[in-house]
Amino acid sequence: MIDPIRELEGDLVQGITQSQALPVSIPGDGEPVTASLPMGDDLPAAGRNGRLASADLRIHLGDPKAIDAVDVSLNGGVLAIAERDFNTGWFSCCPKPEQYRQGRNEVTFRVTRVAADGKSIVDVTHVEVQVRYK
């Protein structure tokens, strides 16, 4: 999960680095924006050896109506949206295990319809991977 906040305790910054900070605004001009998603588990290996049941990528947008106006890629591979909830703004994709990397993953967002003024159309507020093992 990419955490949307940073907490300071004493002199140490806990949790995330700036490249992982959410929210990120998806530009309305068609240019992509990328968020970094750290992954400790080796999902490709778990998929190969049959231990992985699923690893669904779940994303929350600040404006639920924008779900159908956004394309999502994981590490360069375009993903299909598997489920949408237009009431809450959550949607999910089902990448193959080999599309994930252990370590840093790049989740890229791009609008499918360019805004007339080119301004941001929506913020990505949460990104998470629900991993289920067999």
User: Residue 12: its pLDDT value, please?
Assistant: 44
Output the pTM of the full model. Answer: 0.83
The b/e string for 110-124 (b: 16+ C-beta within 10 A; e otherwise) is: bbeeeeeeeebbbbb
> What would the 3-class secondary structure string for the chain be?
CECCCCEEECCEEECCCHHHCCCEEECCCCCCEEEEEEECCCHHHHHHCCCEEEEEEEEEECCHHHHHHEEEEECCEEECEEEECCCCCEEEECCCHHHCCCEEEEEEEEECCCCCCCCCCEEEEEEEEEEEEC
- Asked if the structure places residue 11 within a domain, the reply is yes
Buried b (16+ CB within 10 A) or exposed e, 65-98: ebbebbebbbeeeebeeeeeeeeebbbbbebebe
Banded model confidence at residue 19, pLDDT cuts 50, 70, 90: low
* Per-residue pLDDT reduced to its tens digit, 62-87: 999 999 999 999 999 999 999 999 99
**Mean pLDDT computed over 20-33:** 88
* Residue 2, in any domain of the structure: no
Total of domains in the chain: 1
Query: Average model confidence (pLDDT) for the chain?
Result: 87
Q: Which domain holds residue 37?
A: 7-133
Residue 40 burial (C-beta neighbours within 10 Å; 0-12, 13-18, 19+): exposed
Q: Is 80 inside any structural domain?
A: yes
54 part of a folded domain: yes
pLDDT reported for residue 119: 80
Residue 3 has pLDDT above 90, yes or no: no
> Quick one: average pLDDT of 22-49?
93
CATH number of domain containing 45: 2.60.120.1200
In DSSP terms, which residues pair with 130 in a beta bridge?
56
Does residue 1 lie within any of the structural domains? Answer: no
pLDDT digits (tens, 9 = 90+) for 89-117: 999 999 999 999 999 999 999 999 877 77
pLDDT computed for residue 69 by the predictor: 93
**Least reliable range by pLDDT among 17-21, 34-38, 75-79, 110-114:** 17-21
What pLDDT, on the 0 to 100 scale, is given for residue 20? 59
Q: Has residue 48 been placed in a domain?
A: yes
125 found inside a domain: yes
